[in-house]
Structure 1
């Protein structure tokens, strides 16, 4: 276990000894061949359950991949490690490694790697009994392998489809479907040399025959699988087949063979898994006391005999000896009773511990129920709030009177305040429910901060406050990290400074602290000359629903959640927030983050091209399809777009949307997710089968359970959460429409 722990640290602990010297094409080709050999060997080691050897091979492959900056091999190493955790039933760590692999593969557009990762993702969801998602990822993998005419992996996909049917439902028609997929898998796999998948094929065919009560065929298929497994030393498959054969022979009444295979199965299980047995330890003090008593009694008896022979010990000596023995006996009895009392105390402590465990589980269930309630209620609030904010925007553009404009602005402020509250509650709920994960990708930090400042400029202008941005020129353009989390942290901190600073200044400073190899350490500071915070309140303001004072709450409003979210996000990123403030003179929030620095030679930023192409004319005469089942939302979105000379069409559900895209040319699609019939995700998957260029933007109220990365995996170009600020809405539409024009 210790070797496994240190191997994992070496594998993913931030290896920095990269060989940065120039290498010839021949050397790179030789290293690539060695990497592929190591990864193939690691996959074999995983299949035969030699985890120590697999980790050693993965470690060597990762070192070589980093020497030549081979992102594809790095991602594949994560995929093989995910298989290791999958076989060990550590599904959470398996999912984490797969997400890391998928993030890299999406970044470098590695379609083959993504298909392999989708296949492994399907296995994980099948193991977790989420059969719908397992089927979705099998579809994604099959699309690629059919395009490449990879018959072996088409067979593996068919095999896993059969396993989904066998696990999901044992009804006769489901078993028949499973048998069809197993037949398809056999036709594709038999010409290949993939012994492991052939072994799995025969094993699951055996289980299908058993469910059809055809024990004879089930026995034949299990024996075929066992023969292949023993020939290749596939430990887990030997274990499964011996156990299955024991059950078959038991059902046939052949108890001798059943017992034989059961014993073989138990023997294999004992050789694979380390069974820890706790040894009972005797109380050292008690044992020492008993031994001492025995030694003393023996010594006294010996002395008494010698005295009787030589000195004819008088009666007084005899009485004293008996008294001493009696005292020692009483001491022994006392120790015995003490042991009994200790055992009773241990039983009482165990009982109390069980009660505390039950109380802990009940508290966790209550916390989960609270999280689900908050997730549901915030999602339900977003839909009517979208109507409020959208209609307010439309009315403000209808040239209202001054009196009406004042009321509408108040309504707009209230809607935006309610939206901010809902977003903060949802973010905090995700953090508390541990639904937030760090996903690393390459991005431009300076541009990311500039976008945040653009989004907050109107709020600063309303307060007559100036924003000053100082970015260290020595910081590389391309960094690797989580840009979404960084934006969320900065929006909360800068927004907090704007709220408490009027007719003042706010400075956003980013400086490089240190760089070790590719590891870059940056210092962030957000400083203002606003209200400031008293020393007594500087710790409490990072707690939920806490502000500096009741007077500040009445004057500036707010919920007191923003700084709590910042603290939780930084803790998730292995950092912490620091505050230096003085009442009446302003505040300075600072924190440090670690990034991986790298530059991509010759890369051209499409975003910069798009940014220069944006203008008010970008949307003119563009055709946009609005897919939305809510009539009010349809009307609001359509009117907002038509005021900017956009040609709109509407689809009430996903099925209509697919037909309209087939028969019409649209420049962009706004797709709702939750609709009757097929969902927005299913509709997007169907559209991508015949059109992979048109921008598809998800327009939805995101909930706690929705995985944003899954939207992109299923073909979405971007996501706009409802309700939205109109400026951000148009900015994203202009960006994708301009990008589409440049691509065309």
Structure 2
């Protein structure tokens, strides 16, 4: 028994030790599993923050992974963490910090065998080479990375980076092939993010190749994916792309919509506070890592101190001292970098605002050009409508036909006024209107406005009168055209809302000091009036008080807007007093100048169109539109004038050389050489013949260029017959008029 017991005891002891070891291994195995799951969760969270451009959160998450790696002395995990730091800072444009972590990873790779780590290190090297602009060296590093690992996520990121390089070196087919593969990737970690980046790059390539339809498809796909997954940086990029694409396709409203959305995104996400927070978080984490290096050096110092190795202690102390100095220098440098980043951001924001302003101006100019073209295209057929209507009314039509023709004439004039109003607003918005300073007779301007609207007043059984202060100087300096527009709109508006009543136009002299004159103007009526609520918006575009007023009285609602804008050009302000059922009064003051010498003299003699002797005059009509040729010829024939017709500018030059004409009516827009160029050519051999530009563009748009080309006068189509005859008479009989004076 004595010999058996020790053996039994030793067996029991061995069994106990074996159980202890197994339990310990199971315990540590469970800890390893738990630690691995935690690290994986941390990296998953990091990827989510990185995709959503939450840089500060992403950095804090990586810092947590780095601490776990250091506590567990896990070199591979620490290497992966350093790699992610480097990639994150590279994507944010902080190359210096990215290289710091790439170098730390390089040191770790010397002591471990880790193929994925080596592959990712080459991938980051390719990223750095691409950032330097070394495309082919970058491709070489990517090939080395691909040979070291077949990790799916890394392979997809290699495809994306490779696509960027192919785009840089204009291998668009290869880039597109890579990007299409990424659009349908099955990546567990970054499927949606990679597809979003691929669509963005495909949109960029389509823009480079001027395939705007394809660019819209990919930019919209990128925006949809980015918004769905909260990829804030990609949302911004996609909005920028769509804004540029729609501007290039001429869809300016949609372009402006994405620009506005872009400004909201920039204000809410990419702001100064965010940059400061990210810089602060990055500095804090990097500082901690650098302090860890110092602590390691200090620990080594203590070990060397115990072994009395003075030379090594001195070297380590020196190294630690230099490291501390370096850290202080880096700290100062980083503080300066934060300031520079803040300044850069402010500069960038200013640039973005300037670009947005320039883009808005560009869109406005495009709209202006579009409206100018549309106006020309609309005025040309309107010339035929109004001209033919006038000719038919002159040919003694039957009574039942007169009513139809008058309605047609009214509709044509209404449409013309509408086009003019739209174009006027467009020019005001584009700041293309400037007041003239020429001599004019105020009484004549107001009398013509009142006389031209007497028929409208008669239709409403309304009395239209002019109360004019005769103390106002006869000759004033200003812009008679815009002043006439102001009163046409004010009086026309008053007549529209006044039936069986009275509209009065008042002009008074308030003050006169040498050549400075202050005048008071008022247009008042006893019509339906305007409520206090409606008065707040009555001068806004397309506002007419209410829908009922619009339906009953018609119109565009632009007249008073034009009045307000035109008076603003003169430095004056429109005022309104009104009461429902008792009428309205629109009044303003205006400063003008007069010539003191001319003001006291008699008004020069002028000829009316009735006094011109048109019989026997021979005119050259230059017009490419056949209908317009017929109308203009008939209008001349009505006054017993004869004419020749030139279908284009070259024919006009030949006919002007071969024949003698009393005047030339020159269309401006024609195939071949323009009317302006034809005028210049004619002026080389005939300086005397009157040339009158007949054009369907707005008078203010090209007045100077017409006169510079050699035109004597300009008439816009469609025109009133009396204006047409007056212009012809004034220019042909100019010498006769001067002789009478």
User: How far, CA to CA, are the matches of 1:705 and 1:472 in structure 2?
Assistant: 31
Question: Is contact 2:699–2:714 with CA below 8 Å preserved after alignment?
Answer: no
SS in 1 for 2:605: helix
In the TM superposition, what is the alpha-carbon distance from 1:691 to its structure 2 partner?
4.1
Residue 593 of structure 1 pairs with residue 604 of structure 2: no
Could you say if the C-alpha distance between residues 609 and 341 of structure 1 is closer, same or farther in structure 2, counting changes exceeding 3 Å? closer
Cα 1:715–1:448 change in 2 (3 A) is farther
* Aligned counterparts of 1:585 and 1:492: Cα–Cα separation in 2: 20
Equivalent position of 1:565 in the other structure:
562
Equivalent of 2:572, from 572, 575, 595? 575
Q: Take 2:452 and 2:692, find their aligned partners in 1: how far apart are those partners?
A: 20
Residue segments in structure 1 that go unaligned for 5+ positions in a row: 1-333
Which residue of the partner structure matches residue 451 of structure 2? 454
Counterparts in 2 of 1:656 and 1:479: CA distance versus 1, 3 Å? same
1:433 CA drift (Å): 1.1
1:517-532 superposed matches below 5 A = 517-532=514-529
User: Of 371, 394, 405, which residue of structure 1 is paired with 2:391?
Assistant: 394
Are the aligned partners of 2:473 and 2:599 in contact in 1 as well (CA < 8 Å)? no
Q: 1:653 to 1:337 in 2, by over 3 A?
A: closer
For residues 83-140 of structure 1, what are the alpha-carbon distances to aligned partners after superposition, in whole Å with 9 as ceiling and x for unaligned? xxxxxxxxxxxxxxxxxxxxxxxxxxxxxxxxxxxxxxxxxxxxxxxxxxxxxxxxxx
Q: 1:698 to 1:649 in 2, by over 3 A?
A: same
Structure 2 counterpart of 1:638, from 623, 630, 633? 633
TM-superposed CA distance for 1:424, in Å, is 0.9
State the 1:637 CA deviation.
Answer: 1.1
Q: 3-state DSSP class of the match of 1:524?
A: strand
Aligned to 2:661, the other structure's residue is in SS state coil
Q: Structure 1 residues 650 and 372, CA, compared in 2 at 3 Å: closer, same or farther?
A: same
In the TM superposition, what is the alpha-carbon distance from 1:622 to its structure 2 partner?
2.6
Highest CA radius of gyration, 1 or 2? 2
- Aligned pairs for 1:101-180 within 5 A: none
Q: Which one of the candidate residues 715, 722, 725 is aligned to 2:717?
A: 722
- Asked whether the equivalents of residues 673 and 699 of structure 1 are also in contact (C-alpha less than 8 Å), the reply is yes
Question: C-alpha deviations, 1:646-668, integer Å up to 9, x for none?
Answer: 22222222333334334444333
SS of the residue aligned with 1:610? coil
Could you tell me which residue of structure 1 aligns to residue 670 of structure 2? 675
**Matched residue, 2:477:** 480
1:657 to 1:474, Cα distance in 2 relative to 1, 3 A: same
1:418 CA displacement: 1.0
Q: 1:499 to 1:646 in 2, by over 3 A?
A: farther
Task: Give the equivalent residue in structure 2 for 1:503.
Answer: 500
For these two proteins, the number of residue pairs brought into alignment is 410
Which residue in 1 is equivalent to 2:467? 470
1:439: which partner in 2?
Answer: 436
Task: Tell me, in whole angstroms, the C-alpha distance in 2 between the residues paired with 1:666 and 1:683.
Answer: 16
Q: Quick check: 1:552 aligned with 2:549?
A: yes
TM-score (norm: length of structure 2): 0.51
Residues 697 and 719, structure 1, Cα contact 8 Å, conserved in 2: yes
- For 2:602 and 2:417, locate their aligned partners in 1 and report how far apart those are by CA, in whole Å: 32
Contact residue 610 and residue 739 of structure 1 kept, 8 A: no
For 1:631 and 1:726, locate their aligned partners in 2 and report how far apart those are by CA, in whole Å: 19
Residues 161-560 of structure 1 aligned to structure 2 (within 5 Å): 348-560=345-557
Matching residue of 1:707: 702
CA offsets 1:185-219 (integer angstroms, 9 cap, x no match):
xxxxxxxxxxxxxxxxxxxxxxxxxxxxxxxxxxx
- Aligned with 1:513: secondary structure? strand
Give the alignment's TM-score, normalised by structure 1.
0.51
What is residue 245 of structure 2 aligned with on the other side?
none
1:649 counterpart = 2:644: yes
- Three-state SS of the structure 2 residue aligned to 1:470 is strand
- Does the CA-based 8 Å contact 1:426-1:704 persist in structure 2? no
3-state SS of the aligned residue for 1:706?
helix
CA spacing shift, 1:360–1:590, aligned 2, 3 Å: same
CA deviations over 1:347-395 (Å, ceiling 9, x no partner): 5555444443333333222222222211111111111111111122222
State the distance in 2 between where 1:695 and 1:374 align: 31
Following superposition, the deviation at residue 603 of structure 1 comes to: 10
**What's the secondary structure of 2:556's corresponding residue?**
coil
In structure 2, C-alpha distance between the alignment counterparts of 1:667 and 1:639, rounded to whole Å: 17
- Kept in 2, the 8 Å contact 1:430–1:704? The answer is no
CA deviation vs aligned residue, 1:662-687 (integer Å, no higher than 9, x gap): 44443332211112333222333343
Q: Within 2, Cα distance between the matches of 1:398 and 1:540?
A: 46
Check the 8 A contact 1:606/1:739 in 2, yes or no: no
Per-residue deviation at 1:451? 2.4
Task: Say which SS state the counterpart of residue 607 (structure 2) adopts.
Answer: helix
Give per-residue Cα distances to partners, 1:14-71, cap 9 Å, x unaligned.
Answer: xxxxxxxxxxxxxxxxxxxxxxxxxxxxxxxxxxxxxxxxxxxxxxxxxxxxxxxxxx
Tell me how far 1:609 sits from its aligned partner: 3.1
Query: What is the root-mean-square deviation of aligned Cα atoms in Å?
Result: 3.1
State the match for 1:313 in structure 2: none
Spell out, residue by residue over 1:536-590, the C-alpha distance to the aligned partner (whole angstroms, 9 max, x if none): 1113121111112111111111111111111111111111111111122211111
Deviations, residues 415-468 of structure 1 (Å, cap 9, x unaligned): 111111111111111111111122211222222222222332333333332221
1:660–1:534 distance in 2 versus 1, CA, 3 Å: same
SS of the equivalent of 2:395 reads coil
Distance 1:519 1:441 in 2: 15
Q: Which residue matches 1:698?
A: 693
Residues in 1 aligned to 2:368 and 2:565: alpha-carbon distance in whole angstroms: 16
Choose the corresponding residue for 2:616, options 618, 621, 633: 621
In 1: Cα distance, 2:402 partner to 2:680 partner: 44
Q: What is the deviation of 1:336? A: 12
Conserved 8 A contact 1:477-1:599: no
CA distance in 2, matches of 1:504, 1:416: 25
Q: Distance in 1 between matches of 2:335 and 2:681?
A: 75
**8 Å contact 1:672–1:700 — kept in the other structure?**
yes
Output the CA distance in 2 between the equivalents of 1:601 and 1:415: 41
C-alpha separation between the residues in 2 aligned to 1:382 and 1:565?
20
Question: CA-to-partner distance for each residue in 1:154-181, whole Å, 9 max, x for gaps?
Answer: xxxxxxxxxxxxxxxxxxxxxxxxxxxx
Partner of 2:679: 684
1:660 aligns with 2:655: yes
CA 1:352/1:688 → structure 2, altered by over 3 Å: closer, same or farther?
closer
C-alpha spacing 1:483/1:354, structure 2 compared with 1 (3 Å): same
**1:628 Cα deviation from its structure 2 partner:** 0.9
Contact 1:527–1:589 (Cα < 8 Å) also in 2: yes
> Whole-Å Cα distance in 2 between the matches of residues 510 and 356 of structure 1?
46
Change (3 A) 1:694 1:502: farther
